[in-house]
Amino acid sequence: MSDSLQRFLHKRLETVREAGLWRRLRTLDGPQKPEQIIDGQRVVAFCSNDYLGLAADPAVSAAAREALDAYATGAGAAHLINGHTRAHAELEQALARFTGRERALVFSTGYMANLALVQTLVGRHDTVFEDRWNHASLIDAVRLSGARSQRYRHADPEHLRQRLERAPANGHRLIVTDGVFSMDGDIAPLPQLAALAREFDAWLMVDDAHGFTVLGETGGGSCQHFGLDAGDVPILMGTLGKGFGTAGAFVAGSEALIETLIQTARPYIYTTAMPAALAAATLASVRIAEAAGDRRDHLRALIRRLGAGLDALGLPHPPPDTPIQPVILGDAARATAIAERLRQAGFLVPAIRPPTVPEGQARLRITLSAVHSEAQVNALLNALERALHASPGG
């Protein structure tokens, strides 16, 4: 390696370290369950996005094993060559039914799905209106599309209206938002956004990665939560590695939208398909999630219990609508120190720091799963109280 490259890399690393933003990989031994062994330490994890506990569900694992026998390991090629199996086709049909859309299309990752969507829909003569707190994959997708970016204040339809009124008249208009915001746990005001899209002839795209399986009577996500259909939200994206407990992503929409992605989206055309065993496992998880009213009820009860405990500690938190319940501490060093005290007490809760969140809004990101128990939530609250009292300024 050249000396100049080494110097550049070391300088970048030193900058991160001096800013107190150093990240480290942790190694999990065993399945994705609340009680885990991380780096050799037994902990109760409150950091997973496995909201319904499907990542280690026996029925999902059994579906994967059965498909391994039928399809073996690798897909071998892109979907448009010979990587698209019967398992992929059945999963896409199930996702279309689950979301109430004409068709669905699976992708290997959520990042790829968002890149494919935005780059397919807009270019340099078009304008994209983005919530300021959108996920990084949406922000990057807009940048790479070459479209004009207009960012509006978080969850502020009136500011979006102002942006739409002042936008150039030429080109298409695309409104892009998370359904549930991953760092704050709040839900986008989708009814108002849909109304603005209709008024200004804009297209509304929702990334509902953190809404599916959790919100709505059958887990249909943010759209089902608000009673919105394909006419209100014509472009819908979701991930499979969170509430569905597997990996990958999908886009759901009209026949024309899905066929356009198949024919023109580079991230779809030039990528090897996900393994068929993964598609089969996800099909099992979609069927479980749709009928998992009992799991959603238990999860909502845990969210309310956590909220009551945070209230008792004087800690602000989002409304108890989603399993993402951040505790904003402000200072990155303090958030890191409290997260470390929790880890020492046997609880894994990540400290989220800039640039993932704005300066001054470092936080603990607590996430709950339907496979947590009330006793585990109570134990976390007790440990959090001790950690806060031990912290300067606590």
Catalytic residue annotation = 182, 210, 242
Residue ranges of the alpha helices (H) in the chain? Answer: 3-18, 58-71, 86-99, 110-121, 136-145, 157-166, 190-199, 222-226, 255-264, 266-269, 276-290, 293-312, 332-344, 374-390
Q: Among all chains, which residue has been given the structure tokens 């399986």? A: 213
Please list the alpha-helical segments (H only) found in 200-329: 222-226, 255-264, 266-269, 276-290, 293-312
Per the annotation, binding residues are 23, 110-111, 135, 182, 210, 239, 356
* 28-29: strand order across its sheet: 28-29, 35-38, 41-45, 347-348
Distances (CA, A) of 262 to 50, 147, 247, 258, 311: 29, 21, 20, 6, 48
What is the rounded CA–CA span in Å between residue 370 and residue 323? 9
The annotation places the binding site for substrate at 23, 135, 356
What type of residue is 136? Answer: A
Minimal CA–CA distance to 251: which of 240, 261, 262, 237? 237
